[in-house]
């Protein structure tokens, strides 16, 4: 034990904190997905319009879903490095 009574490990031995750019970006991505899949916004794309023969709602849902998966993979693989 040190003379000052400080029993915390040196900064080089401390575990990395869970709050950082990576966590912040993942929370932001979750909030984006929650808003993107919100029923009032889905009603906007629920019209009878089609894109390449597919209903616009399906194109929107699959596109946003693929985007969220791609962004989460990018964020998790990069590890929040600048």
End-to-end CA distance of the chain: 37
Domain region containing 45: 23-78
Q: How many domains does the chain have?
A: 1
Provide block-wise average pLDDT over 10 residues at a time, the chain (82 residues). Answer: 59 56 89 94 84 90 96 82 58
44 in any annotated domain: yes
Query: Following CA atoms 76, 80, 81, 82 in sequence, which dihedral angle do they give, to the nearest 10 degrees?
Result: 130
**Residue-level pLDDT at 78:** 72
51 in any annotated domain: yes
- pTM for the complete prediction? 0.66
55 in any annotated domain: yes
**Residue-level pLDDT at 10:** 59
70 in any annotated domain: yes
67 in any annotated domain: yes
Q: Where does residue 10 rank: exposed (0-12), middle (13-18), buried (19+ CB within 10 A)? A: exposed
**Residue-level pLDDT at 2:** 54
């Amino acid at each position: 034990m040190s003379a000052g009574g400080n029993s915390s490990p040196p900064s080089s031995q401390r575990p990395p904190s869970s709050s950082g750019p990576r966590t912040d970006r993942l929370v932001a991505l979750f909030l984006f997905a929650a808003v993107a899949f919100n029923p009032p916004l889905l009603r906007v794309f629920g019209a009878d319009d089609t894109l390449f023969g597919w209903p616009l709602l399906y194109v929107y849902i699959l596109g946003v879903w693929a985007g969220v998966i791609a962004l989460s993979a990018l964020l998790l693989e990069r590890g929040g490095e600048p």
